[in-house]
């Protein structure tokens, strides 16, 4: 039995739901007995495919407007416009700014910033059309509040996500749609493990050196598990956050405190 009775049978969209934070978010809402749409680049089916009574899957490239339009059309056709929309999909590229490739910068902005824009534009529009109160949760990052070496594109993209969060929150507040962002710190995901390897090469260190450095920066003494982030996503999707909107909530073990 889930923690929040109001999420039972509610429709929850999760982009980037196939691994990492997104996978934990999908599992968390399945435990709430929600109807979950997992949309991810790694899924091949372009039509909504029912995997169980609670779970649907569909291919989605958040950076591609036609792909987002297809997702929206599939949700409309199946009467599955979400009560809760969660955009987790994101990527990172690494290099010092003056050494970085413009194509890497463009790719990161396309997924993290343009992708967030497109998902909120098309999905929230349908929520408004149906006069459906609900919750929108965007995954930003502590990199949306700070700067980090060799991550200029990612940092820029996540600052932009917080800007979109604040703006959309104002625009749909009268529709009783709450829009908030989660700002994770260092989370043990496949993306983070790849970043450690890339960062080690760039900085002339080992990935073990980077991992030790990561842990040393967290006051609570450990990096996050994906479930730590999913728990806060669940809170922001529940009635407990009804008087919160436009916020960037840190989940960093104390590493970022503002």
122 is known as an active-site residue: no
Give the C-alpha separation, 211 to 222, whole Å: 10
DSSP state, residue 225: P
Give the C-alpha separation, 87 to 117, whole Å: 10
Task: From the candidates 56, 148, 154, 243, give the one annotated as an active-site residue.
Answer: 154
Q: Which residues pair with 14 in a beta bridge?
A: 38, 86
Could you give the 3-state DSSP secondary structure of residue 87?
strand
**Burial of residue 168, with CB atoms counted within 10 A of its CB: 0-12 exposed, 13-18 middle, 19 or more buried:** buried
Could you give the 3-state DSSP secondary structure of residue 175?
helix
Catalytic residue IDs: 154
């Amino acid at each position: 039995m889930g923690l929040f009775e109001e999420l039972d049978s509610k429709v929850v969209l999760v982009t980037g739901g196939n691994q990492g934070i997104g996978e934990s978010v999908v599992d968390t809402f399945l435990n709430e007995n929600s109807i979950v749409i997992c949309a991810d680049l790694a899924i091949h089916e372009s039509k909504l495919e029912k995997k169980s009574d609670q779970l649907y899957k569909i291919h989605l490239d958040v950076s591609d407007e036609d792909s987002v339009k297809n997702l929206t059309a599939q949700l409309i056709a199946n009467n599955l416009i979400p009560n809760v929309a969660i955009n987790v999909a994101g990527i990172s590229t690494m290099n010092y700014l003056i050494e970085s490739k413009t194509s890497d910068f463009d790719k990161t902005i396309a997924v993290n910033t343009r992708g967030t824009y497109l998902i909120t534009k098309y999905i929230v529009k349908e929520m408004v059309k149906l006069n459906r109160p609900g919750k929108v949760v965007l995954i930003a990052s502590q990199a949306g509040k700070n700067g980090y070496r060799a991550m200029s594109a990612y940092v820029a993209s996540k600052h932009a996500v917080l800007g979109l969060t604040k703006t959309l929150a104002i625009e749909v507040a009268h529709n009783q749609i709450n829009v908030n962002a989660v700002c994770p710190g260092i989370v043990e995901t496949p993306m983070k493990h790849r970043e450690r390897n890339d960062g080690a090469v760039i900085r002339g260190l080992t990935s073990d050196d980077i991992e030790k450095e990561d842990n040393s920066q967290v006051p609570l003494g450990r990096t996050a598990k994906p479930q730590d982030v999913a728990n806060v996503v669940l809170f922001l999707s529940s009635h407990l956050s009804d008087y919160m909107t436009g916020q960037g909530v840190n989940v960093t073990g104390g590493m970022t405190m503002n």
